[in-house]
Amino acid sequence: MKLTWLGHAAFRIETDKATILIDPFLTGNPGFAGLDRRDAVQGVTHIVLTHGHADHVGDTAVIAKETGATVVANADLCGFLGKHRGVEKLDPTNTGGTVHHEGFSVTYVNALHSSADITEDGVSHALGNANGCVFHIEGGPTLLHMGDTDIFSDMALINELHRPEIGIVPIGDRFTMGGAVAALACRRYFDFKAIIPCHYGSFPIIDQTADVFVDALESQAERAKVAAAGTLHQF
């Protein structure tokens, strides 16, 4: 499995049978600046969304139309994308549910965050609960993208049910847990073999580096994979 951070909370997963974008916020994402959009969207078969905020939905509608990718999201967000953004290939799910696609499945788990968007007419739309996403990949490691979240004790249940080996963890503070709390979540509730921090360094009002997070991981610090956006990780 190949995993590439595209800045902020956006990732590209390449497996033998699928190419998946998670939260493809590319346009306007300072963390994506300088990367090649064509490389990021080439061959995409699926788009998986953790929640409905604009810095996570991002370019979903445009990429889906360009590539024919199936969009996986909670049912409320799927309905919004179909009605207001013209997305046609939608696979709705919700917290606790699992959907299966060729070569992988994705289970939606809890996250502590909000989820909404505003249409061009100024109307605000509630878009269901925010989620984390657990990917079970055929022939590959299990991956948890936590989405935007704070720490919560039921992370222990997520670990018990799914045993994720790779954790994608928001660390930027203000809108998600900060580095020290994110590190505590990893240490206390999970046994990740690799930990990839995200949701930092993209906007001035969130933390700019992963230093606090790595320091607070203590004995697990060597598991952190801190690299520039665009770096390809192979697992």
What's the pLDDT at 105? 98
Q: Which residues of the chain have pLDDT under 50?
A: none
For residues 165 and 143, give the distance between their C-alpha atoms in angstroms, rounded to a whole number: 6
The model's pLDDT over 87-99, given as tens digits with 9 standing for 90+, comes to 999 999 999 999 9
Instruction: Calculate the CA dihedral of residues 160, 24, 33, 180 and round it to 10 degrees.
Output: -20
Domain count along the chain: 1
Mean pLDDT of the chain: 98
What's the pLDDT at 186? 98
For residues 63 and 44, give the distance between their C-alpha atoms in angstroms, rounded to a whole number: 8
Find the farthest-apart pair of alpha carbons in the chain and give their distance in angstroms, rounded.
51
We report the CATH number of the domain holding residue 78 as: 3.60.15.10
Q: Structure pTM?
A: 0.98
For residues 13 and 15, give the distance between their C-alpha atoms in angstroms, rounded to a whole number: 7
Which range marks the domain in which residue 68 is found? Answer: 2-234
Per-residue burial over 86-120, b if 16 or more Cβ lie within 10 Å, else e, is ebeebbbbeeeeebebebbebbbbbbbbebbbeee
The model's pLDDT over 137-192, given as tens digits with 9 standing for 90+, comes to 999 999 999 999 999 999 999 999 999 999 999 999 999 999 999 999 999 999 99
- Provide the token pair at 161: 């049910």
